[in-house]
Amino acid sequence: MTALFQIGSMANHVSQSNGTGSRFRWLLGVPFRAQTYRNVAFLLLAFPLGVSYFVAVTVGLSVGAGLSVTLVGIPLVLVTLLAVGYIGRAEALLASWLLPVAIDAPEVPAPTTEDDLTSLDGLATVAGRLVASRITRTSLAYVLLKFVFGVVAFTVVVTAFSIIGSLLAMPFLYDAPNAGYSLGSYTVDSLEHALVGGGLGVVLLFAVLHLLNGLARLGGVLAETLLASEADSVTAVKGEASQ
């Protein structure tokens, strides 16, 4: 009986040691995982794409609505709504490519050969179908949120890497003319202080990469929630209800 207890204690100790080792590998391995840099690429792309989407969609809808009493307004709204749907589809593919998510890109309810696009009534019918489509509404919500997400992501990435780059370069540039390095209230005028700054940069690098991975995961959740095809959404809801 005593022997069994000792064996059980040893197995538990090994299990705990393996768990601790896994956590350390996860914590310290972040700069060496390819997914980390795919996440950073996703965050950097979010800003230019988000701004482009936001400007194009808001201008298209506002101008189209303002000209809705003319022959130009309804076609412009129609084209903008189609663009919104295809933006959602493209973003679903981009997220699936760069992030550890699998999103079935939704089908856009584009006009068919049965639609009469030569009359205002036909254009209005197609535009109404697009407005009623779930993917159009969720893609429009994603475009608006992508703009905010892109600004936040770009600000965090650029600010964090600027600070980290400055700290990592400190041991090499602290005595350069007009460098003017400082750590808080301490002026960096010796190699010892500069090495402290460089070490702080290394620690901050690990912390920031984990932060950016978390921010990218948030972007993946946003894409999965809003851009999954309607069939996937129904399946997800059924799966949650059965749990």
Report the 10 Å Cβ neighbour count for 155.
11
Q: Which two tokens stand for residue 106?
A: 């939704």
pLDDT of residue 50: 94
* Percentage of the chain lying above the pLDDT 90 cut: 35
For residue 107, the 8-state DSSP code is: P
Q: How far apart are the first and last CA of the chain?
A: 41
Residues 6+ apart with CB under 8 A from 111: 117, 126
Paired tokens of 49 = 């794409």
Structure-model confidence comparison of residues 37 and 182, the more confident one: 37
User: Residue 157 pLDDT > 50, yes or no?
Assistant: yes
C-alpha distances out from residue 202 to 1, 73, 189, 196, Å: 50, 55, 20, 10
- C-alpha dihedral sign at 107, 109, 110, 115: positive
pLDDT at position 114? 62
Among the listed residues 37, 47, 28, 34, the one whose alpha carbon sits nearest the alpha carbon of residue 212: 37
Helices then strands, counting H and E runs in the chain, come out as 7, 2
Give me the residue spans of the domains in the chain. 33-230
Determine the residue type at 209: L
Task: Give CA separation, 57 vs 68, 82, 138, 142, 167, in Å.
Answer: 16, 10, 14, 12, 41
Let me know: does 50 contact 147? Beta carbons within 8 Å: yes
Q: What is the pTM of this model?
A: 0.76
Residue 234 tokens read as: 């129904």
**DSSP, residue by residue, 55-90:** HHHHHHHHHHHHTTTSTTHHHHHHHHHHHHHHHHHH
Q: How many CB atoms lie within 10 A of CB 58?
A: 14
In which band, very low, low, confident or very high, does the pLDDT at 143 lie, cut at 50, 70 and 90? very high
Average pLDDT over the chain, rounded to whole? Answer: 78
The sign of the dihedral angle between the CA atoms of 164, 165, 170, 175 is negative
Q: Are 39 and 212 in contact (CB under 8 A)?
A: yes
Q: Give the helix, strand, coil percentages of the chain, each rounded to 5.
A: 80, 0, 20
Q: What is the pLDDT of residue 204?
A: 93
- Asked if 106 and 58 count as a contact pair (C-beta separation under 8 A), the reply is no
Distance CA 223, CA 95 (A): 7
* Tens-place pLDDT, residues 43-69: 999 999 999 999 999 998 888 778 766
